[in-house]
Amino acid sequence: MKDTGSAQDAEHEVTMLKVISDLDADLNNVVKFHERVDMSLYDLLEQREWEHHPLHEIRPVAKQGLGVLHTDIKPDNIMFVNMKDQPLRVKLIDFGLAKMASQVELGMEIQPCGYRAPEICLGLPFSKAVDVWGVGCVLAFLYLAQNLFSFKCEYQMVFII
């Protein structure tokens, strides 16, 4: 039996990669279709034994901007291009859950818990700003070397917010 869910997921990601391929990948910090990347932000923190990052290393990671909602911004989906030659130059990967702004609907469950914007948790209208919230959570993760909010329980996350 063929796994149509995986095929549809792959097809969706290829479609989203085609949409963003019109953008300047380097200017918008998104991975090119056949680009090699080094390691994720999560991997770097693990390698540094969970030491927090100084602000001068976090600022370059904060740059972001796309015409689509990524909806899955987390440390695992932000990769370093080449730590040796371009330290701290990052690219956003994994557009499998990305949505065009016109596709978003009230009540959609998007974003991983712990990086989820309050308006998503509460079922309120949302915009591309939810990705900015996700980036903020990633930056806090880098600085604190731990998650700012619970990633196991949405109730605990909202309670802390």
Active-site positions read 72
DSSP code for 105: -
How many Å apart are CA 106 and CA 120, to the nearest integer?
9
Please name the residue that has the structure tokens 């989820």.
Answer: 116
Q: Quote the CA–CA distance of 121 and 99 in Å, as a whole number.
A: 18
Instruction: Detail the DSSP E strand segments found in 48-125.
Output: 68-69, 78-82, 86-92, 99-100
* Whether the Cβ atoms of residue 9 and residue 95 lie closer than 8 Å to each other: no
